[in-house]
């Protein structure tokens, strides 16, 4: 559904996005992960046809994004980083207006409001909405015309844990319905849970690209930490794969001197730090 080759873009005379290459297949959730200012939203703007003066290839649903025609938007849905809604109109009027821009048959509005818990508030003016409500409304705006590809920029930011959970379930459900989803986030836990593959982006470059599982397995190794008594409480650690051959640990286990033991797998966050030298959370 998406094919990016040797993508280059600059806001000034200095290169910004450089040598970006990746592909996203149908039904996949693909994540852009990176710190603030890394270029995630810029990349989304290129793929959604908002920035056209890039070099290289950015094919979306078979169309080179810089050459898109108006019907390009019939099959992509975009949830921008910052909600773009008419404050003086009600939520429903907003959806009816934005929906009227598409030639396609729209999804059922009541169902969409229901999906994000806004049924009771659909006749309220957007100016009376809270930040999280605007964010949820902006999200269903992207689903209105049932597009094949969804671009979601920080869909869970600003949401409380319960609404964020609901949002993630909706995203997973859209994937089940066969949608292709490009997700931008700083949230490693969300990325690990939702994404089939992730690209680590820092300073306008892709530093790693794989499934969260492969990134974790390839770069990190699970460890165990233990404490034991030796006049006073002491601690030790070793790699999980080496527990059988760790002499200190074997001795402690044989003599029942272990006080506590637990294992820890590296998280995507640890791997991000290892690969990019930057901390995300």
Ligand X SMILES: Nc1ncnc2c1ncn2[C@@H]1O[C@H](COP(=O)(O)OP(=O)(O)OP(=O)(O)O)[C@@H](O)[C@H]1O
Which residue ranges make up the site for Mg ion (CB under 5 A)? 40-41, 81
Residues pairing with 238 in the sheet: 224
Of 90 and 135, CB closest to ligand X: 135
Closer by beta carbon to ligand X, 25 or else 37: 37
Contact status: 37 vs ligand X (CB under 6 A): yes
Closest distance to ligand X from the beta carbon of 204 (Å): 7
Residue 42 within binding range of ligand X, rule CB under 6 A: yes
205: which strand partners? 202
Complex with ligand X: residue 46 or 112, whichever CB lies closer: 46
Distance in Å, CB of 43 to ligand X, minimum: 7
Q: How far is the CB of 38 from ligand X (least distance, A)?
A: 4
| Measured distance CA(45)–CA(65) in Å, rounded | 10
* Minimum CB distance to ligand X smaller for 56 or for 266: 56
User: Which lies closer to ligand X via its Cβ, residue 13 or residue 120?
Assistant: 13
Name the residue with the smallest CB distance to Mg ion: 41
In angstroms, rounded to a whole number, what is the distance separating the alpha carbons of residues 226 and 188? 27
**Token reading at 280:** 């995300």
Q: Does 31 bind ligand X (CB under 6 A)?
A: no
Closer to ligand X by CB, 75 or 135: give it: 135
Distant-in-sequence, close-in-space partners of 116: CB < 8 Å, separation ≥ 6: 136, 137, 139, 140, 163, 166, 167, 170
Query: Which one of the spans 19-27, 32-40, 96-104, 248-256 is the region binding ligand X (CB under 6 A)?
Result: 32-40
Please report, as residue ranges, which positions from 5 to 24 form the binding site for ligand X (by CB under 6 A).
11
CA angle 134, 138, 140 (to 5 degrees): 120
Only one residue has tokens 């680590």, namely 200
Decide: is 36 part of the binding site for ligand X (CB under 6 A).
yes
Q: Does 83 bind ligand X (CB under 6 A)?
A: no
Q: Are 27 and 180 in contact (CB under 8 A)?
A: yes
Task: Give the contact letters, 168-207, x = binds to ligand X (CB under 6 A), - = no.
Answer: ------------------x---------------------
CA distance 107 to 124: 20
Residues in CB range of 254: below 8 A, 6 or more apart: none
Residue 142, burial from CB neighbour count under 10 angstroms (0-12, 13-18, 19+): buried
Q: Give residue 191's Cα distance to chain centre.
A: 5
* Distance in Å, CB of 73 to ligand X, minimum: 21
Contacts with ligand X, residue ranges (CB under 6 A): 11, 34, 36-42, 81, 186
């Amino acid at each position: 559904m998406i094919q990016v080759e040797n993508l280059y873009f600059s806001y000034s005379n200095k290169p910004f996005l450089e040598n970006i290459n990746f592909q996203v297949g149908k039904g996949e959730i693909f994540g852009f992960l990176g710190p603030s200012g890394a270029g995630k939203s810029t990349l989304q703007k290129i793929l959604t046809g908002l920035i056209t003066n890039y070099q290289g290839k950015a094919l979306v649903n078979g169309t080179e994004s810089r050459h898109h025609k108006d019907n390009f938007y019939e099959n992509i849905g975009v949830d921008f980083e910052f909600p773009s809604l008419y404050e003086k109109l009600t939520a429903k009027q907003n959806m009816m207006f934005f929906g009227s821009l598409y030639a396609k048959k729209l999804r059922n509005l009541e169902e969409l409001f229901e999906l994000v818990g806004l049924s009771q508030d659909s006749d309220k003016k957007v100016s009376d909405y809270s930040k999280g409500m605007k964010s949820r409304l902006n999200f269903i705006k992207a689903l209105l015309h049932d597009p094949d590809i969804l671009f979601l920029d920080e869909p869970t930011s600003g949401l409380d844990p319960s609404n964020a959970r609901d949002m993630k379930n909706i995203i997973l459900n859209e994937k089940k319905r066969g949608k292709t989803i490009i997700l931008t986030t700083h949230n490693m836990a969300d990325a690990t849970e939702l994404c089939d593959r992730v690209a680590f982006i820092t300073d306008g470059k892709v530093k790693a690209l794989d499934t969260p599982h492969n990134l974790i397995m390839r770069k990190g190794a699970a460890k165990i930490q233990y404490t034991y008594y030796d006049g006073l409480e002491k601690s030790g650690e070793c790699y999980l794969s080496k527990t059988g051959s760790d002499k200190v640990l074997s001795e402690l286990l044989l003599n029942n001197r272990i006080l506590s033991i637990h294992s820890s797998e590296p998280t995507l966050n640890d791997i991000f730090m290892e690969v990019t030298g930057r901390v995300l959370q």
